[in-house]
Amino acid sequence: MGQPAKTQAQPELIDRYGRAVTYLRVSVTDRCDFRCVYCMSENMNFLPRRDLLSLEELDRVCTAFVERGVRKLRITGGEPLVRKNIMSLFQGLSRHLDSGKLEELTLTTNGSQLKRFARELKATGVERINVSIDTLQPDRFRAITRWGNLDTVLQGLDAASEAGLKVKLNAVALKGTNEDEIDDLIRFAHGRGYDLTLIETMPLGEVDGNRLDQYLPLSIVRARLLDRWTLDDIPYKTGGPARYVRVRETGGRIGFITPMTHNFCESCNRVRLTCTGTLFMCLGQEDAVDLREPLRAGPNDAALHAAIDEAMLLKPKGHDFVIDRRAGRPSVARHMSVTGG
């Protein structure tokens, strides 16, 4: 990766509510080899490649955030591992792990490419990954992902474990789709030494069908789990919004991400960069700052840091997620694959 012109030391990032921003999630592509029913329409119109930040630009903007006190970088998509030459970005960013400025470099993936990339990821300093998997039934997996193959993902999980990567499974709880399978997901994850995080579906982007038909409150899921499992609240944190419990019978952890029933905004420490260079300060708001223009204005990062400063003043106190039975439309028009999961 090319090195930008050096700039003077920059202050750490504090928003107007006094929250330190230490976590950047970066979408490197809006493309994906799946078409999950809660994330995308089956016939998506993807962005022209010229609109995407180059890998060199992604490295540069990530580096600017590391200079401002960001300690955790998560690479997302779409599916990040379908981006051409993506490993060069991980290799470049690993220098911040070596310097000690960055505590963690990680990614969220659908697992389809893990068999190919797991060892390379580990070699660049990635220690743990999140893998999205909503069901263990092949036919149901195909129905949820439309294009996915469960066996390919399971092979990817095996490759990740063999490479020494720690794995956390993410499952979106979908009413009438996988709510009968939560116990099986717990047994599968904990049997392999994985954490499992359950996520409420979020009203992002138009999808085929009504989101109200998908929405399953995790308060209901947790109440059902208590009929079969002993759940002990624990203070465990990974830097994200999940609240964790330990399952006494398995010894494993379950995380609950509940943007709809119990938001986590008061402790929000993260911002999200899209693959086009738009910085969103909140997943559930439209306030955004363009970082692509200052990135492309020249090699000096002064304008980039000024834009980041502006973003901190715009970071809202919380999101406005709501699933409106009457409106029948998402709270936020953009798809999750554009913002980054």
Reported confidence tier of residue 83, pLDDT bands at 50, 70, 90: very high
Percent of the chain with pLDDT over 70: 85
> pLDDT by residue (tens digit) across 196-240?
999 998 665 454 555 567 789 999 999 999 999 999 999 998 877
Chain position carrying tokens 């504090």: 14
Reported confidence tier of residue 340, pLDDT bands at 50, 70, 90: low
Q: How far apart are CA 196 and CA 307, in angstroms?
A: 36
> pLDDT by residue (tens digit) across 96-113?
999 999 999 999 999 999
For residues 60-79, average pLDDT = 97
Between 93 and 242, residue with greater pLDDT: 93
Q: How far apart are CA 78 and CA 309, in angstroms?
A: 27
Q: 3-class SS at 161? A: helix
pLDDT at 166 over 80: yes
Chain position carrying tokens 């999205």: 132
Between 209 and 114, residue with greater pLDDT: 114
> pLDDT by residue (tens digit) across 126-143?
999 999 999 999 999 999
Bond into 240 cis (ω within 30)? no
Residue 324: which of 217, 215, 200 has the closest Cα? 215
Do the Cβ atoms of 266 and 224 come closer than 8 Å? no
Q: What pLDDT score was predicted for residue 339? A: 60
Q: How far apart are CA 205 and CA 339, in angstroms?
A: 10
Q: How far apart are CA 166 and CA 64, in angstroms?
A: 27
Between 217 and 260, residue with greater pLDDT: 217
Q: First CA to last CA across the chain, in angstroms?
A: 25
Q: What pLDDT score was predicted for residue 206? A: 54
Q: How far is Cα of residue 96 from the mean position of the Cα atoms in its chain?
A: 20
Q: What pLDDT score was predicted for residue 209? A: 57
Quickly list H helices, the chain. 55-67, 86-99, 114-123, 138-145, 150-163, 182-191, 211-214, 218-225, 292-296, 302-314, 336-339
> pLDDT by residue (tens digit) across 46-61?
888 889 999 999 999 9
Return all residues near 313 (Cβ < 8 A) that are at least 6 apart: 15, 16
Q: What pLDDT score was predicted for residue 4? A: 52
Q: What pLDDT score was predicted for residue 99? A: 98
Query: Cβ atoms within 10 A of the Cβ of 59, count?
Result: 23
Concatenated DSSP letters for 177-236? TTTT-HHHHHHHHHHTT-EEEEEE---BS--SS-HHHHB--HHHHHHHHTTT--EEE---
Q: How far apart are CA 208 and CA 239, in angstroms?
A: 32
For residues 79-95, average pLDDT = 97
Among 14-18, 286-290, 301-305, which range has the highest average pLDDT?
Answer: 301-305
Do the Cβ atoms of 65 and 31 come closer than 8 Å? no
pLDDT at 321 over 50: no
Percent of the chain with pLDDT over 90: 69
**Crossing angle (nearest 10°) for helices 55-67 and 86-99:** 20
What residue type is 33 in one-letter code? D
Identify the helix (H) or strand (E) that includes residue 244. strand 243-247
Q: How far is Cα of residue 188 from the mean position of the Cα atoms in its chain?
A: 22
Q: How far is Cα of residue 18 from the mean position of the Cα atoms in its chain?
A: 24
Reported confidence tier of residue 334, pLDDT bands at 50, 70, 90: very low
For residues 325-330, average pLDDT = 48
Supply the DSSP symbol for 287: -
Tokens of 247: 């399952």
Query: Cβ atoms within 10 A of the Cβ of 248, count?
Result: 11
Between 226 and 147, residue with greater pLDDT: 226
Q: 3-class SS at 23? A: strand
Q: How far apart are CA 165 and CA 297, in angstroms?
A: 38
